[in-house]
Structure 1
Amino acid sequence: MPPRVTLLHVAQRAGVSRSTASFVLTGRHVDMRISEDARQRVLRAARELDYRPNLMARSLRTKVTRTVALLSDTLASDPYAGRAIHGGLAAAVAHGHLLFIGETEGDPDIEERLITDFLDRQVDAFVYASMFTRYVRVPKLLKGHPLVLLNCLTRSARPAHHAVVPDELAAGWTAAKTLVEAGYREGIHLVGNPAEQVFAGRERLAGLREGFAAAGVKLAGTIACDWWPEPAYDAVARALRRGTAPRALVCLNDRVAFGAYQALKEAGREIPADVAVLSFDDSDLAAWLRPQLTSISLPYYQLGWKAVELLLGDRGDGGNSGDGSGSGSGSGEPATHRMAMPVRLRASI
């Protein structure tokens, strides 16, 4: 391997002092009144020598590493939620940062070890993420550090950090509006178990009820089941055998819709001629089903982008904000940012 090109090599090639070369390459040439000729010689020398700054030395000097750590439970390994990682990566790159990713699988010991490792590497800021939208307690080790919550919230009346979550309440309203505008006003059943402790189910149902109420429509009933294909199939098949005659099914996610499709097909009910089906999440499954499934999309990519953007958008060199609040960027008081969930209209309505 050839020896690493140093700042001194660049200065010697350009015929300037080492400090002048440093001022030019770090953008401080204007303040130091360095001539345009000298600046051009330094830039040309850096290109010819293929000079790259020693980031480790710079981070030791400035206490800024230009890195962000995204810590999640199972977000990174999920095939759909992994798009949030892509969004976070894109935002980090746009701000000249690297994104480190750690996954805990919900184990507090692994979480503590990962946070300690990230702190030892002097990462500048953290994104604390969850696979499912839920309330969390921020780990004590992260207190005092710039932090944004991704797909999770705290129960504090005065949150200390920005949080980025999907707008599930508005998604429920959108689902109701979509069905009503398509002419469905009676025989609309919810499929799934909108348990109070499940954030997405609770918010989606509340939005549905508000949207239907605004149009003078009521849900005809609920076909309760877990959020997986097999229990959904069993529950819908049982309801059909008992004489339930739905005109539309609102499924709480695409896996539930998959089970409902099978039950409807076995009962000889055509989609959408006999029964319309609408769902949430817009996973790949929605486009694979036949007929293709209308679904309200979870904006994973936008969630990841927004979380990192809140950390880095106003931070300049990526260092700590210096106010000790640990709330992340200079983008105002900590708040909950709800990301829109667009409807993907397909052939099931």
Structure 2
Amino acid sequence: MLSRRVTLTDVAKKAGLSVSAASMILNGRPDTRLSQEAHDRVHAAAAELGYRPNVAARGLKTNKTQTIAFISDVVATTRFASGLIKGALSAAEAAGHVMMVLETGGEPKRETEAIGAALDRQVDGIVFAAMRARELFLPDMRIETPAVMLNATNSRFPHSVLPDEYRGGRAAIQVLMDAGFRDGIALLGQSEAKERELFRSATVAQRVAGIREAMADQDLEFVAEVSVWLWEPDEGYQATKRLLRQKNPPRAIVAMNDRLAFGAYQAAGELGVRIPEDLSIVSFDNDEIAAYLRPGLTTVALPHEAMGSRAVDLILHPEPATESLIPMPVVMRDSVR
């Protein structure tokens, strides 16, 4: 048989104080005008009895449940963007909030159910997150709860948190400039000529713009641009093999993501091309495998943890509707000479 829940009245009775006095002390009121000894008695009584505040009852009084919903497509069930939820969880915990994690797989029916579940529990805010940065389409439901788009955009909810891909693209080129490269640079994963009419996403477009404008600022041109629609290791491997077998192979590669770079490593190793002595590689994302390659891959990181933390901060401390761009740090390893 379950024991009765310990109430505030029980704590006050054991401490020999009124319920209102015990409540002020346990809620941390700075102006209780009660002695330190009274404070100690209340906290000792609460600890001895195992008292836990009734969050639901408090929520009825304050109209706050200290709960934030994190609704995503596959962020929680894949490793590629787990930093988003890690950062959000840390920020929520630091603020004394609980996070309700709901995964939808990107399925409209499950999205509707997840939003309904969050609203039914009167969460203080909703973070809508996507594994890959994109425009996120949400069910046509009435949502009056504060909401922030994380690694995503949506016309109904103007608060969004995204990586600063434009400056990230510029940073990748700067890495090669600092290493003394002025020619012999190839772009792996995107081609201006072949993709002029194609659209991947707004964030990819910003990454490409940063790369190309940084090159133009230095009056430089790529010696080769290889369009690859699927940014996966095998495509990177095949494309890099073709590049390295040319009469004048590139001396440096800017890979559009780390998975393409993994394939480039395989191709270089198979052809006896040394990294970084013969071929330097800089990439994007900072996939966890990048640190385990030999030599380690220099990459411009997606700041997922900082993004998750920022999204929760916007829920807890609302600001005028805006797009928050989080800097992408360069992670220097050993793939650039």
Q: Deviations over 1:49-90 (max 9, x none)?
A: 332112222223433211000001111112131121111111
- Does residue 201 of the first structure (1) align with residue 204 of the second (2)? yes
| CA separation of 1:261 and 1:39: change in aligned 2, threshold 3 A | closer
| CA separation of 1:221 and 1:198: change in aligned 2, threshold 3 A | farther
Residue correspondence of structure 1 range 23-172 to structure 2 within 5 A: 23-28=24-29, 30=31, 34-36=33-35, 38-141=38-141, 143-154=143-154, 156=155, 160-172=157-169
Residue in structure 2 matching 1:180, options 160, 177, 180: 177
Determine the structure 1 residue equivalent to 2:326: 339
Q: Provide the C-alpha distance between the structure 2 equivalents of 1:214 and 1:5, rounded to a whole number of angstroms.
A: 68
Task: Return the TM-score normalized by structure 1.
Answer: 0.87
Q: How many pairs are equivalent?
A: 327
Q: Provide the C-alpha distance between the structure 2 equivalents of 1:101 and 1:261, rounded to a whole number of angstroms.
A: 37
SS of 2:96's equivalent in the other structure is: coil
Q: Provide the C-alpha distance between the structure 1 equivalents of 2:39 and 2:293, rounded to a whole number of angstroms.
A: 61
Q: Provide the C-alpha distance between the structure 1 equivalents of 2:149 and 2:298, rounded to a whole number of angstroms.
A: 29
Runs of 4+ in structure 1 off by over 6 angstroms are none
Distance apart, 1:259 and its partner CA: 0.9
SS of 1:111's equivalent in the other structure is: helix
8 Å CA contact 1:209–1:219 kept in 2: the answer is no
SS of 2:291's equivalent in the other structure is: helix
8 Å CA contact 2:81–2:131 kept in 1: the answer is yes
For structure 1, which runs of at least 5 residues remain unmatched after alignment?
315-328
- Does residue 265 of the first structure (1) align with residue 269 of the second (2)? yes
For structure 2, which runs of at least 5 residues remain unmatched after alignment?
192-197
Q: Deviations over 1:86-141 (max 9, x none)?
A: 11111001110000111111100000011111111111110011111112244443
Q: Which deviates more, 168-177 or 184-193?
A: 184-193
| Amino acid corresponding to residue 213 of structure 2 in structure 1 | E
Q: Provide the C-alpha distance between the structure 1 equivalents of 2:7 and 2:255, rounded to a whole number of angstroms.
A: 61
Q: Provide the C-alpha distance between the structure 2 equivalents of 1:218 and 1:180, rounded to a whole number of angstroms.
A: 13
Q: Deviations over 1:4-35 (max 9, x none)?
A: 221111111122222332233224472xx653
Q: Provide the C-alpha distance between the structure 2 equivalents of 1:7 and 1:75, rounded to a whole number of angstroms.
A: 40
8 Å CA contact 1:71–1:127 kept in 2: the answer is yes
Q: CA RMSD in A?
A: 2.0
| Amino acid corresponding to residue 93 of structure 1 in structure 2 | E
Q: Deviations over 1:212-245 (max 9, x none)?
A: 2222222222112220011121122223334351
| Amino acid corresponding to residue 168 of structure 1 in structure 2 | E
8 Å CA contact 2:111–2:138 kept in 1: the answer is no
| Amino acid corresponding to residue 231 of structure 1 in structure 2 | E
8 Å CA contact 1:193–1:201 kept in 2: the answer is no
8 Å CA contact 1:228–1:256 kept in 2: the answer is yes
Task: Return the TM-score normalized by structure 2.
Answer: 0.90
| CA separation of 1:267 and 1:39: change in aligned 2, threshold 3 A | closer
Q: Which deviates more, 59-68 or 179-188?
A: 59-68
8 Å CA contact 1:134–1:151 kept in 2: the answer is yes
